[in-house]
Amino acid sequence: MSDAPKPSEEYVVIRHRRGYRLRRTLILLGFTIVAAISGYMAGMAQGGFRFSSAEESKELLVHEVDNLREQYHSARQQVINLERGRAIDEQAMRDARNAIVDLETKISELNADLTFYRNIMAPTEVSKGLQVDNFTLSPARGDGRYSFKMVLTQVGNNNRYVSGLVAVNVIGTVDGEKQVIALRDLSEDIDDLGVKFKFRYFQDIEGSLSLPEEFEPLEIQVVAQAGGQKTAQAESTFDWEQVTGN
């Protein structure tokens, strides 16, 4: 049998040209390179714009930060100044208050002294002559020990000195029974039954006393007796709690 082609099959004959496929490949490669370069240049241009904008933004932010930092330091310094000023004002206020308290205390003391001298120099009719003006006690070192101070005055006629003796008795209880103890038995500063005095206007008598352990003090009795041409007697009784401030 022969190998002749069948009538139903067709064949196309193409003319072969040397170098055609190579040229087409080179052209496509060239277009690709041109497109890549164009895209890169466009990207660089856009990127350069963004870089420039970022630099400007950075400079603005740095400027803002510097301004805020200056404002922060300024505000902080103002706070420090205000705190220092407030501390100074508070200290000045405390000093002023303390000064006011001291002045009020001094004024009260001066008023008391003024009243004291006024009563001596210009007394009423009832309070003329020898007077037991005051008796005070303050705790001292040791249990049952006290410092005492009594004031005798001559009210009205102060042309002459008044002299005499003043006796002090502490009245209290021992085991519920009343007992009277003379000051000389309680104080090492007093040797006699009475303390001598001599003055024209007033005289302070001071010392210390010590109470027995079982003795409960209630009152202090002071009796002043003047002799000579101006014989007079003055007597006062003071509550123990009042003179000790308890």
CATH number of the CATH domain containing 202: 2.60.40.150
CA-to-CA separations, 172 to 54, 190, 218, in angstroms, rounded: 100, 20, 5
- Domain total in the chain: 2
Residue 159 pLDDT exceeds 50: yes
Domain-ending residue, one of 97, 122, 147: 122
Percent of the chain with pLDDT over 90: 24
Q: In this structure, are 46 and 153 located in the same domain? A: no
Q: Are 132 and 228 members of one domain? A: yes
In a shared domain, residues 117 and 225: no
Which of 210, 196, 136 is closest to 165 using CA atoms?
A: 196
Query: Do residues 139 and 89 share a domain?
Result: no
Q: For residue 153, how many other CB atoms are within 10 A of its CB?
A: 25
Residue 6 lies in a domain: no
pLDDT at 81: 77
Tally helices (H) and strands (E) across the chain: 2, 8
| pLDDT computed for residue 95 by the predictor | 81
The residues that bridge with 165 in the sheet, in sequence order, are 196, 225
Residues 160 and 241: their CA atoms lie apart, in Å, by 36
Rounded CA separation 64/50 (Å):
21
Report the 10 Å Cβ neighbour count for 91.
10
pLDDT band at 1 (very low <50, low <70, confident <90, very high): very low
Beta-carbon contacts of 135 under 8 Å, excluding residues fewer than 6 positions away, are 148, 149, 150, 151, 220, 222, 236, 238, 243
Q: What is the domain range of residue 83?
A: 15-122
69 in a domain, yes or no? yes
10 occurs within a structural domain: no
Task: Return the pLDDT at 39.
Answer: 53
Q: Which of 6-15, 97-106, 235-244 bottoms out in mean pLDDT, i.e. has the lowest?
A: 6-15
Report yes or no on 41 lying in a domain: yes
CB atoms within 10 A of CB 151: 16
The reply to whether 23 and 68 lie within a common domain is: yes
Mark whether 48 and 67 lie in a shared domain. yes
62 with 146, same domain? Answer: no
91 and 183 share a domain? no
Whole-number pLDDT of residue 91: 81
Residue 25 is assigned to a structural domain of this protein: yes
Mean pLDDT of the chain: 75
Chain segment 98-135, per-residue pLDDT in tens: 888 888 888 777 777 777 776 666 655 556 788 898 89
Same domain, 151 and 108: no
Q: Which of 122, 142, 169 lies at the terminal end of a domain, its last residue?
A: 122
pLDDT top residue among 73 and 217: 217
Same-domain pairing of 107 and 154 = no
Residue 7 falls within a domain, yes or no?
no
Q: Please report the pLDDT score of residue 58 as a whole number.
A: 64
pLDDT in tens, 175-225: 889 999 999 999 888 888 889 999 888 899 999 999 998 899 999 999 999
pLDDT for position 22: 46
Last residue of a domain, one of 91, 122, 153: 122
Distances (CA, A) of 47 to 35, 44, 54, 148, 236: 18, 5, 10, 101, 110
pLDDT above 70 as % of the chain: 70
Together in a domain, 33 and 88: yes
Residue with tokens 């490949």: 25
Residue 149, burial from CB neighbour count under 10 angstroms (0-12, 13-18, 19+): middle
Q: What is the pTM of this model?
A: 0.53
DSSP reduced 3-state for 63:
helix
5 in any annotated domain: no
Position 74 confidence tier, pLDDT thresholds 50, 70, 90: confident
- Residue 3 domain flag: no
Same-domain pairing of 114 and 136: no
pLDDT at res. 156: 75
Compute the average pLDDT of residues 68-97: 77
